[in-house]
Amino acid sequence: MLIDSHAHIQGKEYAGEVDAVVARAREAGVATIIAVGGAGEMSSNGAAVALAARCDAIYATVGMHPHDAKDVGTDDLKALCELAKQPKVVAIGETGLDYYYNHSPHDVQRRVFVQFIQMARDMDLPIVVHERDAARDAAALLRSEGEGKLRGVIHCFTGDYNAARAYLDLGFYLSFTGIITFKNAESLRAVVRQVPLDRIFVETDSPYLTPVPHRGKRNEPAYVRFVAETIAALKQIDFGEVADVTSENARALFGL
């Protein structure tokens, strides 16, 4: 059975359909889904926590995406600290740095990222990191602010092997999405070949990044199977081994 380690099925894209989405995931061999908060608006966190409380197969995380770092205030951080105490919240995030879109100033992103790193460290929770075109700064902050006490995963990893190595050296996991099935992603597939299986997660990032052969449609956790199958092909190992090891990795990090 697989674990979709990063999905946003609490969002409006799945309104009225969540039970059916979870059922299709189960039929596809997906036992557990991590509903990740913080994408788009603060309310996504409460929605993720509520969904996890209602559904045995779902766990939640709470945080704010770096796109929205400019809107994160002291009251938001306090509210997220309280949400993080809920029993099925397994991590802080998503949070991080995104220098590709620059929806928030870089210095603001770094300041808020540090606050979430400190929250994860103080609450003894892992951290779910979004990083795009900011690997050097992200790794440096995880190293300096984590003080060797931080554990976590770089979600939707798309960097080169040097970036991968920096995160692996920090003890972090790398999570791969449907991007690895895209025709133009050979450089990322080369990284997948090099990263040890015991440091890999699989995810959909639903509703985004739908893998081949469903590209162009709304993504959902059932499709994480295509990510795992691609990893198996790249590493020339059995699909069952990929499912077992990546699921064990996620269980170990999130304490499932």
In the chain, where the domains are located? 2-254
pTM metric for this prediction: 0.96
Q: What is the pLDDT at residue 38? A: 87
Please give the class, per CATH, of domain 2-254: alpha beta
Going by C-alpha positions, the residue among 153, 173, 81, 72 that lies closest to residue 123 is 81
Going by C-alpha positions, the residue among 130, 124, 145 that lies closest to residue 253 is 124
What does the mean pLDDT of the chain come to? 97
Checking if the pLDDT of 106 tops 90, the result is yes
Going by C-alpha positions, the residue among 254, 26, 43, 255 that lies closest to residue 18 is 26
Q: pLDDT exceeding 90 applies to what percent of the chain?
A: 96
Checking if the pLDDT of 188 tops 90, the result is yes
User: pLDDT class for 31, splitting at 50, 70, 90?
Assistant: very high
Q: What is the pLDDT at residue 41? A: 82
